[in-house]
């Protein structure tokens, strides 16, 4: 059976029937709009698009993978502001011949990823489309904290990262090359492309520790640090020897004969967090110092200025 057999209202009812609601959602799907509680009085909002063939391939990723990934990249943006995610709303374009099993798996992926942070799917919209297109908007609560923006970095501070780097790029490279996935490490790298694992709790933690700037690593660490440098009017110097290369990334690099550090520094879609802290802050083991902030502009690695490495939708 396909979504076309159900019709629009049947599809909507099938989706909403699979979505449990959390405490933040005061009125969920079924009306013209949802109602979400705002304990702090302010709402952090982020939105992203995912297009089939551009951000995922159905022959590479299951519906469940795509649902987890679509929710994760938006929830990570909220965490990168120092907020706790509370809900998402989803705009969904799907072909009429899409199997219902794929739609059900997609819906379950949304719900399960939101459940990792106690958030809910509050509502959305569905329409017919030639490809699978997802527009996800995430909401978050600052719990009385100030938001952590990209513009607060100052000379003398340190740059630290939390979460995995290079996994998504390594997994994509393995799939693109048609390389075998005959070891647990290679399988984990591919899983990193299909389903990122953002360190959500580290966003509010960084805010509590006094982070002055932060973002999630969606387009590549060096390119994203460039956004902090530009917004703050500073230079970021990165020490490549400070990074720990995960075993799956190293295994993929060995399989394909490439430098794993390139994926760590320039690969996107891991949705790790990069933050800037005062030098005197004692960071927990969940954060790894990888650089420093100095006067100037741009990003330096090995003492060389980096142009614009990483992902750009229009390059």
Give residue 37's pLDDT.
Answer: 87
pLDDT digits 0-9 by tens, 165-203 = 999 999 999 999 999 999 999 999 999 999 999 999 999
16 annotated as a binding-site residue:
no
pLDDT digits 0-9 by tens, 34-62 = 888 888 899 999 999 999 998 999 999 99
- Residues 289, 225: Cα–Cα separation, whole Å: 13
- Residues 188, 169: Cα–Cα separation, whole Å: 12
Give residue 304's pLDDT.
Answer: 58
CA dihedral angle for residue 260, residue 263, residue 265, residue 270, rounded to 10 degrees: -130
Give residue 288's pLDDT.
Answer: 98
311 annotated as a binding-site residue:
yes
Give residue 310's pLDDT.
Answer: 52
Give residue 313's pLDDT.
Answer: 40
Question: 197 or 4, which is more confident?
Answer: 197
CB atoms under 10 Å from CB of 240, counted, come to: 12
30 annotated as a binding-site residue:
no
- What mean pLDDT value characterizes the chain? 92
78-82, 166-170, 245-249, 309-313: segment of lowest average pLDDT: 309-313
pLDDT digits 0-9 by tens, 101-152 = 999 999 999 999 999 999 999 989 999 999 999 999 999 999 999 999 999 9
Whether the CB-CB separation of 83 and 144 falls below 8 Å is answered with no
271 annotated as a binding-site residue:
no
46 annotated as a binding-site residue:
yes
pTM of the model as a whole: 0.91
**Domains in the chain and their CATH numbers?**
3-141 (3.30.1330.10), 158-306 (3.90.650.10)
31 annotated as a binding-site residue:
no
Give the tokens for residue 192.
Answer: 């990193």
269 annotated as a binding-site residue:
yes
Give residue 305's pLDDT.
Answer: 59
Q: Is residue 20 scored above 80 in pLDDT?
A: no
Q: How many Cα atoms sit within 13 Å of 38 on the Cβ side?
A: 8
125 annotated as a binding-site residue:
yes
């Amino acid at each position: 059976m396909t979504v076309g057999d159900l019709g629009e209202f049947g599809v909507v009812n099938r989706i909403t029937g699979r979505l449990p609601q959390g405490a933040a959602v005061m009125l969920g799907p079924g009306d013209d709009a949802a109602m979400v509680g705002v304990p702090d009085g302010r709402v952090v909002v982020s939105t992203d698009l995912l297009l089939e063939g551009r951000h995922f391939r159905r022959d590479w990723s299951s519906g469940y993978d795509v649902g987890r990934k679509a929710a994760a990249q938006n929830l990570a943006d909220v965490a990168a502001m120092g907020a706790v995610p509370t809900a998402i709303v989803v705009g969904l374009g799907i072909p009429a011949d899409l199997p219902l099993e794929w739609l059900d798996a997609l819906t379950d992926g949304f719900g399960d990823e939101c459940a990792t942070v106690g958030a809910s799917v509050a509502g959305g919209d569905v329409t017919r489309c030639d490809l699978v297109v997802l527009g996800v908007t995430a909401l978050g609560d600052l719990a009385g904290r100030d938001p952590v923006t990209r513009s607060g970095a100052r000379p003398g501070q340190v740059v630290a990262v939390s979460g995995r780097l290079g996994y998504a790029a390594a997994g994509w490279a393995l799939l693109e090359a048609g390389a075998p996935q005959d070891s647990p490490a290679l399988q984990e790298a591919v899983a990193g492309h299909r389903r990122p694992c953002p360190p959500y709790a580290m966003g509010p933690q960084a805010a509590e520790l006094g982070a002055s700037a932060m973002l999630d690593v969606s387009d590549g660490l060096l390119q994203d640090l460039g956004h902090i440098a530009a917004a703050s009017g500073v230079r970021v110097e990165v020490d490549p020897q400070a990074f720990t290369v995960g075993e799956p990334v190293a295994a993929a690099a060995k399989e394909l004969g490439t430098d794993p550090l390139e994926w760590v520094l320039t690969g996107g879609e891991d949705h790790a967090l990069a933050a800037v802290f005062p030098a005197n802050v004692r960071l927990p083991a969940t954060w790894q110092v990888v650089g420093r902030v100095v006067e100037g502009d741009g990003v330096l690695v090995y003492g060389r200025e980096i142009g614009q490495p990483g992902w750009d939708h229009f390059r």
